[in-house]
Amino acid sequence: MNISLPGHSAPGGGFEVPLEMITACHHRVEKQCATLRRLVPHFARHGADADARSAATAVMRYFDTAAKDHHADEETDLFPAIIESMAGSDAVCLRELIGALVADHRALEAHWRHVRARLQAIAAGQPTRFTSDDVEPLIALYEQHIEREEKELLPMAARLLSDAALEGIGRAMRERRGIAAVG
């Protein structure tokens, strides 16, 4: 699925393979969560030094743009396409899964607002409290959410969605980010 190049972790196919792009985004979320975890003890030892300010700014930039787009990719394009592909009682089960994932998105956004306020203070070099109690709820929910999407939702999407549906999802993902189509 992914092409492994040193220093390059993006999927080889780009938006032409939207399910792989979603998985790649999950990996980037995990990297940002790891940065948050490392920032807690760094901040405790060094305060809002240049490294802390830089890390806080980078994490904010990621979650304010890419993570927001990722949730929109799923809620606006992927989830409706999967539901449309199902029929009968399977659709009820799928709607419950998607409903839970959308609820996760709202909870993640609420946790993010709390963490972002702390990061914003760090990035500005202002005094703030920043502990694992601030970041762990966000990280734990992301870990749980990503695992559920990767084990349940994405395999189902790969099985159920037509090439045309996947192409439409990829096109919408590109447009959401202001990226011109290839070819």
Q: Which residues of 71-91 are buried (b: 16+ CB within 10 A; e: fewer)?
A: bbbbeebbbebbeebeeeeee
Please provide the average confidence, as pLDDT, over all residues in the chain. Answer: 89
CATH superfamily of 17-176: nmb1532 protein domain like (1.20.120.520)
Please work out, in degrees rounded to the nearest 5, the angle formed at the alpha carbon of residue 151 by the alpha carbons of 149 and 156: 80
Q: Taking the domains of the chain in order of start, what are their residue ranges?
A: 17-176
pTM: 0.86
Instruction: Please state, for a pLDDT cut of 90, what percent of the chain lies above it.
Output: 79
- pLDDT-derived band of residue 14, with 50, 70 and 90 as boundaries? confident
